[in-house]
Structure 1
Amino acid sequence: MNRIETQLRALQRAVFPGGDQRFFEPEITADTAPQGQPQGATLPNATALTDVLARLDAIEQQLARLTAASEISGNAITLLQGRVDALEAARTAAIAVPSPAPGTTTGTPAPATAGGPAELVSNPAITTPAPGPTPERLAAVRAILKPQTADAGDDEYVYGFRLWDADFYPEAQQQLSLFLERYPDHARESFARNLLGRAYLDNGEPEAAGRQFLANYLDNKQGARAPDSLLYLVEATLALNSAQSTSRACIALAEFATTYPTEMAGRLKGQYDALRARVTCP
């Protein structure tokens, strides 16, 4: 601003040489610069400076509003994209399943008998494929947001936990298995293996759940969720309802009481007492 004012004074002298001092600032003025300001410097016009500051404040407020609107629009676009992807997946799956030709049947005709016309019987060689996820389920899974932090491994685990917490057990199994494959030494490893076992158990797969719980306990008995896995192993064993379920459950309960006496009397006391009441151990 000082440079602009200097250039304006030079322009005034060129256009109006010998101008009246009532309208034009003289070339040499009294030394009235405040302390700390270079000699000969003039103070900027207070009104002009106030106007500049006000305009800068207005620009900053407008940028803040535009930034907020941009974030809202980006989130809405992400949700819409998820819905479109779900609809496209459902449409592709529908196109991939061929419809039967007119006048045909899915059964195999049996040989005609003297007692009546031929009867249609099912062909055991034809198997019905497992139904895929519905568009509604795909949309619901996509609605569960995956965190984005500086710890990518923790984000993967938290996303698996959110899927399990929303009762999407097969999706949680896949996500937690992916986490364990990519981050085998992560601090959440014990948590993830225990939660993977629970995802199998909650999905009605006690045998697969038992394998996960047992591995989590044996591989690292000092893991954060190793004592939890040992108790959930008892639940998975009882859910199998086999001839050896009771004896194996008693072995696991005794192992828990020996290895984790502090947990038995503290954090996991309620779960231990409930399991102990379900079985009769020698």
Structure 2
Amino acid sequence: MTITLRGSLSLAAIALGLSAPLAVPIMAQTAPKPPAVQVDPEMRLRRIEAEIRAVQRKVFPEGVGKTFVPEITAGQSTAAPTGTPAAPAVSDLLARMDAVEAQLARLTAQIEEGQNRAAKTEERLAKLELASAPALGEPEVQPSAAATTPAPLAPVTPAPVTLAPKPVAAKPATIAPTSAKPAAKPLTPSATRLAAVQAIEKPADGDTGTNEYMYGFRLWEAKFYPEAQQQLQIYVDRYPKHKMISQGRNLLGRAWLDDGKPGTAAQFFLQNYLADKKGNRAPDSLLYLGVAMVKLKDTEKACGAFTELAATYPAEVAGRIKTQYDNARASVKCK
């Protein structure tokens, strides 16, 4: 019995000893695993690279330049694509582009309209400049011995002035030689006329330019037209930048026009208008240029002057010179 019991105990111990090693792996396999720790791939890659560099230092202890650079590199991040703009922003941009295009179209139309007006103005001025030459049958004025010859204007060179009331002059050279008459000697002014002219007082107050103009105005107002022509010519030549130069040139043309010389007067009217279109007597000169053309029986140029006047100075035509303009326009039939 004793032997049997011991044998049984020994067999049990042996069975327990054999089953113990097997139980441990089984228990290990069946036991629940702890949750795995999430490791960043970038950190793992850096750790692996560090380990490789450590191995290289052990393999090549002397060695700079003998190590190998890892071929693994960090991935390049790609930029996120730009999103599509919102519909309201696109609509606003298109509306602004349409507005800009509309403004450009309006500017283009205005430029073309301005160029058209400029072309028409140049055409009218070209027609008016043809009127600057004196009429064919208009006699030239010869200076008398008592008159002082004034310096001619730069744009036009009217004939010198005489103090004689009705000088006798030769006809222009364009007429046939057989019909030309020899020029008569200019008549000297009578003592009565000289006394009347000398009785007109020349202003002495104010600046000298104004005094010269006012003296010419007084001579013109007294209907001493040749003397007024001479005096106003002196003023225009000596004081071309004077504040009253527009009045002076216009009145010089009036003196020639009232003296029955519309061709010469037209030169001064046109010159005054072209020299300073903003001058205070530029509208008057354009008006009397048309009047001079009417006297020369040049209807086309007269109508051109009146049309230019109405287009350039509408306020003056409707106000200050309305009566003169209406009377002058009624004296000619324009298309």
| 2:260 counterpart SS class | coil
Tell me what 2:249 maps to. 193
Tell me what 2:316 maps to. 263
Could you tell me which amino acid in structure 2 is paired with residue 209 of structure 1? Answer: A
> Matches of 2:275 and 2:266 in 1, distance apart?
14
Report matched runs for 1:1-282 at 5 Å: 128-241=184-297, 245-282=298-335
What displacement does 1:182 show? 0.8
Could you tell me which amino acid in structure 1 is paired with residue 308 of structure 2? Answer: E
What displacement does 1:235 show? 0.7
Structure 1 residue ranges without an equivalent (≥5): 1-88, 91-123
Distance 1:134 1:263, change over 3 A: same
Q: What is the TM-score of this pair, normalised by structure 1? A: 0.54
Distance 1:126 1:268, change over 3 A: closer
> Matches of 1:138 and 1:159 in 2, distance apart?
15
What displacement does 1:281 show? 1.4
Could you tell me which amino acid in structure 1 is paired with residue 196 of structure 2? Answer: A
What displacement does 1:128 show? 3.5
What displacement does 1:150 show? 3.1
Count of aligned positions: 158
Distance 1:128 1:187, change over 3 A: same
Q: Residues 58-110 of structure 1, C-alpha deviation per residue, up to 9 Å, x if partnerless?
A: xxxxxxxxxxxxxxxxxxxxxxxxxxxxxxx99xxxxxxxxxxxxxxxxxxxx
> Matches of 1:141 and 1:233 in 2, distance apart?
28
What displacement does 1:218 show? 0.8
Could you tell me which amino acid in structure 2 is paired with residue 187 of structure 1? Answer: K
> Matches of 2:220 and 2:186 in 1, distance apart?
22
| 1:150 counterpart SS class | coil
> Matches of 2:329 and 2:191 in 1, distance apart?
43
What displacement does 1:185 show? 0.4
What displacement does 1:201 show? 0.3
What displacement does 1:280 show? 1.6
What displacement does 1:278 show? 1.5
